[in-house]
Structures are given as structure tokens and as C-alpha cells.
Amino acid sequence: MVKRDLADLAALGGKPAFENPLHVGQPNLGDRERLLSRLNDVLDRRWLTNAGPLVLELEARLAAELGVRHCVVMCNGTVALEIAARALRLRGEVIVPSFTFVATAHALQWQEITPVFCDVAADSHNIDAEQVEELVTPRTTAILGVHVWGHPCDVEALTKVAERRGLSLLFDASHAFGCSWRGRRVGNFGRAEVFSFHATKFFNSAEGGAVATNDDALAARMRLMKNFGFTGYDRVSEIGTNGKMSELSAAVGLTNLESLETFLVSLRANYRDYQRELSDIPGLRLVAPVPDASGAAWNHQYVVLEVDRRETGISRDDLTTVLWAENVRARRYFHPGVHRMEPYRSLYPEAGLRLPRTEALTERVLVLPTGTQVGSAEIDAIAGILRVAIAHGPEIAPKLRSRGLAGS
Ligand code: T4K
């Protein structure tokens, strides 16, 4: 049901718009029969992990898809980040945005590398190359950019800083599978780019990740590291970990890879529906990639709003409460900012002082459901909720409070 009036809102006593929760990250899934047939083959072979044939096939297909020499697949994006940082021999300080998923910083801190938080640009939400340069110290070994929402960073500016200051440049490309920067596929920039293939990502293998690189020696080191450092049956050449992807995940990945175009068509249509439906609602900005950065190749994986409270008359958090009551599980990524989460908050209490744009964004951003399970009917209903809530913006907060529903 499309909401028309304040009394229709579930937070104020109306019936929820959706019977079941509508999530931000419902997995995109490829052909079920193909998947089941691959899983049957895996069981027949009794080869479940350790560089099995499906993992090797996935690596080859991904490298071809991205146009890179190597795509080393791993068990998840976080471990892939850890292994990439370790294989690049990073230590000391690494400059990284705070406006990211916490795993970006954890992968560094876990190895006792200090994440030095850098602010982001207000339009792209990506790391600010100018501030990066100001943060370089004699202890800095690398810049870790994040292509937030699949919108590529300013690769050119970051490359120049890295070259000028003799730093490694790598990217957390967890959101950016299938995206391009100036016509070239993400996966080809810096020393290495790290992908997440988590269930909630545009392309998923249930759990999974990969590091793409054109550096042969780096790829070889990462292959060793993800397999305990083994170079033979009983020979270990250096410290390693277990970063292997299983054949089951590879089966999911290979199957989903065959449906990428279908996913993209659906996500692009959703984005355009949101664009059309939200364009007349004051105070909402639908975030898009900076035009010259990604051109047409963008995976449309996240539908991201900035809520300007002065215009909407309702805060992002109260809007979130209204949506959740309707069973629309919108998410406040990346609230409250990694620098405000532990252990970073205690370790680097001053970090927020140089992050004004990050702090503003973590109070404004709201991510809406999309994916192949979402279509125009759902988007019309979500837009209807937002339209009603914003038309009555200032009236809503006291009503929510009186019902014990504070914006969380
Ligand atoms: N770097 C960046 C920039 C990242 O965004 C991420 C992960 C990483 C590194 C690390 O990569 P991984 O180690 O995860 O491969 C989610 C994802 O779990 C996480 O992968 C992702 N970023 C992050 C942005 O979002 P949560 O805790 O907010 O949401 P989660 O997993 O509960 O999923 C969101 C919603 O999706 C759920 O409420 C329900 C729905 N859902 C989820 C799963 C797993 C489903 O409908 N089906 C499912 O199977 O972190």
C-alpha cells in the first residue's frame, strides 16, 4: 500500500507497508539449477577446498573479467585486505578514510599498523587526496583508498601523492566489482585492489574476497600467505594464514558471475526508479558517482541518500525509525564513523577533529534497499513513506517520542 497520510505510517499506528523485512543486502543469486549441478560435482569429486578446480576456474574467470594478470581469491574481503597489506610489507602508518566499513581499519590494526584517518570529499564520499598528503609522516608506508558505494576514488590524484611520497597505494574495492575509472576496470589500480564477495555484494560467493593485481611477485606472495606459507607438502617458506576459499563458495561465485548482466540490469532499473520517485522530495539527495570518474560502468549496488534535516524537517535517524516500522531495513552506513568505534575511539581520540565532512556524512547518510529482489512496486512504496514523512517532517519527532520511538 502506498502511504498517503501521517496516520498511514506504521510508526504512528498504521499497518506496515511490508509484511516481511526488506533488506539493504539481500543476495543477488544466479541460476539455481547451474548452482546445484556445480555443488553436485563438488560432492562427487570430494574435493572441498585447497585450490580446488572451481576456485582455480573462478580465479581465471575473474582475472579475465577485470582485465588483470592475477585475481587471488580468498575466504572473505577482510582477510584479503590483511593478506594484501602483509604481502606489501606495510607497517607504521597507513592513511585510510574513516568513512568506510570497519573492516578496512581492522585489517590494519589487527597487524599493529596504525590507521591514520583521513577526511572524505563531500560529493564523492571518497578519501580526500589533498588531506592525504598533509597526513604523510616519516612512518607512513601506504595509502589505502576505498571506492565507497562503488564510486571510484580520484585514482589519478592518489597515484601522484603515492609516487611523490614513495608510498604504496592500494584500494579497498569491496563495493566496486564491475565498476570502472575512466574506462578502465577497477582492479587495475595501485599495487593491488581488494574485493569483497560477501553475500550482500553486487557479485557474491556467499563469503569470499579477492585481491587483484598486475604484480606477479605480489600475487605469488599472497598465494603463499593464504595457504599457511606452504611451498610443498611439508615445506613452509614464511608465515601465512588460512585465507582459502572453499569449493562451495566458488560454485556460488561462478554461477553468479554468469548472471552479472542480469543483476546489473535490475540494479540500474532500481536506481532509476528511485531517482524518478525521489527527485521531487525536498532535502533528499540521491548520491551518484562523480561524472568523469566512472562513466557508464557502475554497478549501482547501493542506493544512498543524504538527508538534509534543515529541508526535510526530520532527522535521518527519525526517518530510519519510520522506515523500520514499515519493515524497510534502511541502514545508516557508516555511522558513527570508524574513528568513533573501539578501539579507534580510545586509541586516536583526536582523529575526529580533522574529519568534519566524515562527521557530517555519518549523520546524513541513509542506504535504501535494492537488489534483484526489489522492484518498482517496492520502490514506489518506499518513496511514498519518505514523501509522507518529509511532508510532515517537524510533526513526527514529538509523535515518535510520545510512542517511545526515539530515532535510534
Ligand atoms: N571493506 C568494505 C568497504 C566493506 O564494505 C566490507 C564489507 C569489507 C571491507 C569486508 O568484506 P567482508 O569481510 O565482509 O567480505 C554488511 C556486510 O556483512 C559486509 O560484508 C559489508 N562490507 C557491509 C557494508 O555490510 P552488516 O553487518 O551491516 O550487514 P549484514 O551482513 O547483516 O547484511 C545486511 C542485511 O542484508 C542484513 O540485515 C540482512 C540482509 N542479508 C544479509 C545476509 C548476510 C540477507 O538478506 N541475506 C544474507 O545472506 O555488514
Q: What share of the chain is helix, strand, coil (3-state, %, to 5)?
A: 45, 15, 40
Q: How far is the CA of 287 from the centre of ligand 1 (A)?
A: 20
Out of 222-226, 322-326, 401-405, least confident range: 401-405
pLDDT in tens, 291-327: 665 556 899 999 999 999 999 999 999 999 999 999 9
Mean pLDDT of 387-393: 95
pLDDT reported for residue 292: 60
**DSSP letter, residue 399:** H
Indicate whether residue 200 lines ligand 1 (CB < 6 A): yes
Peptide bond into 349 cis (omega under 30): no
Of 16, 7, 11, give the one whose Cα is nearest residue 400. Answer: 11
Mean pLDDT of 265-291: 93
DSSP-assigned beta bridge partners for residue 23:
329
The secondary structure of 183-208 as a DSSP string is TEETTSSSSEEEEE--TTSSS--SS-
pLDDT reported for residue 25: 86
Distance CA 135, CA 117 (A): 9
* Cβ–Cβ < 8 Å for 130, 111: no
Q: Is it the case that residue 5 has pLDDT exceeding 70?
A: yes
pLDDT reported for residue 408: 53
Which cell is 321 given? 525509525
Q: With cut-offs at 50, 70 and 90, classify the pLDDT of residue 290.
A: confident
pLDDT reported for residue 19: 95
Grid coordinates 572453499 are at which residue? 246
Q: Which amino acid is at 255?
A: T
Residue to probe by mutation, ligand 1, list 109, 144, 197, 200, most atoms within 8 Å of CB:
200
pLDDT in tens, 69-114: 999 999 999 999 999 999 999 999 999 999 999 999 999 999 999 9
Indicate whether residue 373 lines ligand 1 (CB < 6 A): no
* Cβ–Cβ < 8 Å for 367, 331: yes
Q: Is it the case that residue 288 has pLDDT exceeding 70?
A: yes
Distance CA 106, CA 172 (A): 12
Distance CA 218, CA 341 (A): 32
pLDDT reported for residue 291: 66
Q: With cut-offs at 50, 70 and 90, classify the pLDDT of residue 399.
A: very high
Distance CA 281, CA 143 (A): 38
pLDDT in tens, 39-80: 999 999 999 999 999 999 999 999 999 999 999 999 999 999
Q: What is the largest CA-CA distance in the chain?
A: 70
pLDDT in tens, 153-209: 999 999 999 999 999 999 999 999 999 998 899 999 999 999 999 999 999 999 999
Of 73, 70, 74, give the one whose Cα is nearest residue 243. Answer: 74
Indicate whether residue 25 lines ligand 1 (CB < 6 A): yes
Interacting residues of 383 by C-beta distance below 8 A, sequence separation 6+: 274, 277, 278, 281
pLDDT reported for residue 74: 98
pLDDT reported for residue 305: 97
Q: With cut-offs at 50, 70 and 90, classify the pLDDT of residue 289.
A: confident
Indicate whether residue 205 lines ligand 1 (CB < 6 A): no
Indicate whether residue 209 lines ligand 1 (CB < 6 A): yes
Indicate whether residue 369 lines ligand 1 (CB < 6 A): no
Indicate whether residue 26 lines ligand 1 (CB < 6 A): yes
Indicate whether residue 153 lines ligand 1 (CB < 6 A): no
The minimum-distance atom of ligand 1 relative to the CA of 198 is: 15
Q: How far is the CA of 196 from the centre of ligand 1 (A)?
A: 9
pLDDT in tens, 347-382: 999 999 999 999 999 999 999 999 999 999 999 999
Distance CA 149, CA 164 (A): 28
